[in-house]
Structure 1
């Protein structure tokens, strides 16, 4: 909680990712098409992958990540369009997002993509499916595809500098494209995907029930927070991520409240979104708490850019949903070890009784 990992040229990846988000968003501001901003925002997630990889591995990772994100975006917007009145019920969001959480975790694992898991895909599917009055499908998907293509170009742009250039040949790309998992890796992946399915489903159900009782929405924020603790090498690390998610969100909400109080124009919000994205990428692999301080205003400003809602409602919903999701995620992470301890305690008790 109070330490920060060493830097690994994080500024290079942060600049690439921030540019891949800023350029499409500022273009949409100029064109007056902020209704398409959410599709650009999630298309830009393709640039997050392969951050420290050589160019042949980076292009493969970003192509795969981009194709998967485009599939999720398409599924999300079709879910909204096929719903009565373009209004998706909270329970449909829970079911659809749970399926996405499980399926994308499996695909990401088989492709060995990093970051692992399906956090971005959960967020993308649920956020887009929740948007009322969807823009034309062609324009939405064109925006997403163009943003992914831009991120691929930005990912290769460092080859212009001879000192940053790494080998990029067709044979090298083909070699990087071939991924094989061993039997133990496949078994671990399927167990991990089950954890994502359970965490997302339980968090979504709890957040929906509590939200309907207390009068708040955005149940998918709880589902996003629930899968955060599932990434980590040890149970202790995973529990720490859950706690850092809650505390980082609290501080991030204070930052967002200060930003909202200034009532920035759309172009200023885009600048702030890009700055938050840069900060998140600088810190995400080094200090998760500080990264969340950047991620929270980034996510909520992206929402305010597209949907006109009361910012106070967003602050309220974000905090409660994050707490619900983080608690569920920590419970899912600690359940196996708690079960093993209980079995061990029971066997010892039986031996003593005997």
Structure 2
């Protein structure tokens, strides 16, 4: 098992038009962010960053099916963004203490993790799972100084619309124009529905447990950003085998550590806002180039991408940011691997009890 895990971490899958997807996603995030830089409205950058996530769906699908998948993904992301912005205001509305607000966000993010996992499975979206929705909801909900809700949602809607247009952009060239056809709705089979519900429970348990542990550890050791642990916890839940899922958890930790080194080098250069946007676009390109081929390498780009986007809206000391990201990732990945292994361990224990009774 260790040898196979090690081999998997250093294996590169063959390319499959990844550069086309990477270019679309990089443009989809660059245009809205550079526009906000020119307008002097970086407080809205996080809404654009998450709205652009619609472009990662339907990677190599025909144009008609890609449009439907991205429309569904964009609609779901807009709902998550709206809920995150409302959750950020809930503490003041219900007069909660700072600690009470944090625990409310953990609870709400846990519900989002399970609910969005189920919706993604029902709509047959790929990438599977609710990782992006956990990240979007919790990141927006944790921003202390919220911009006007209408302005934030307008930026998110426009960014999703841009992603849809970019997804159809290849139709401009006759040589790359694919026949337009609307995909027929395909209902989940009984077995697929059962799997979808089980996966949703897994996301609920992993995110909730990771969020709880990260919050308690953060209060004890003095670090924050508990939702990064919740994001990392659901990473191992995606995979076709137990070994592959464990490998994803390990790759998440190693890739994050390497990505933090890259981020530290970027921060030392003290880039201007427009340069920061270029870095985000470059990291988005790198992430999409490798996310389907080599997960650990993709994390080297995902880590600075996620953290620089956060810094645009809520600046924190670089050392604190790097420390929190690594510790939260370790906590989350460990929880995710434990959730993956728990069913098999439970079956072994149950089998042992039965054999003893016999």
Please state which band the TM-score falls in when normalised by the shorter chain.
Answer: over 0.9
Contact 1:70 1:145 in 2 (8 A): yes
Partner of 1:319: 326
Secondary structure (helix, strand or coil) at the match of 1:89 reads helix
Q: In structure 2, what is the Cα distance between the partners aligned to 1:89 and 1:244?
A: 32
Q: Does 1:77 align with 2:89?
A: no
- 1:338 aligns with 345
* Partner Cα separation in structure 2 for residue 111 and residue 150 of structure 1: 22
Q: Contact 1:110 / 1:179 at 8 angstroms: preserved in 2?
A: no
Of 36, 55, 68, the residue aligned with 1:60 is 68
TM-score, normalised to structure 1, is 0.96
Answering whether residue 17 of structure 2 is matched by residue 5 of structure 1, we say no
TM-score of the superposition, structure 2-length normalised?
0.95
Runs of 5+ unmatched residues, structure 1: none
The residue correspondences of 1:189-204 to structure 2 (distance < 5 A) are: 189-204=196-211
The 3-state SS of whatever aligns with 1:82 is: helix
Counterpart Cα distance in 1 of 2:140 and 2:91:
13
> Is the contact made by 1:69 and 1:121 (CA closer than 8 Å) also made in structure 2?
yes
Distance 2:175 2:294 in 1: 28
Provide Cα deviations, 1:191-240, integer angstroms capped at 9, x if missing partner: 01000000000000000000000111100000000000000000000000
Q: 1:243 aligns with which of 250, 262, 265?
A: 250
Structure 1: distance between partners of 2:176 and 2:91: 48
1:17 aligns with 2:25: yes
Equivalence map 1:160-171=2 (5 Å): 160-168=172-180
CA distance in 2, matches of 1:164, 1:328: 44
Give 5+ residue unaligned stretches, structure 2: 1-8
- For 1:164 and 1:344, locate their aligned partners in 2 and report how far apart those are by CA, in whole Å: 56
The runs of 4+ residues in structure 1 deviating greater than 6 Å are 85-88
Distance 1:260 1:47 in 2: 27
The equivalences for 1:112-131 within 5 A come to: 112-131=124-143
Counterpart of 2:159 in structure 1 is 147
| Cα displacement (A) at 1:140 | 0.4
Deviation at 1:343, TM superposition (A): 2.1
Cα distance in 2, alignment partners of residues 31 and 179 from structure 1: 44
Q: Which residue of 1 aligns with 2:303?
A: 296
Deviation at 1:179, TM superposition (A): 3.0
Cα separation, 2, equivalents of 1:181 and 1:224: 26
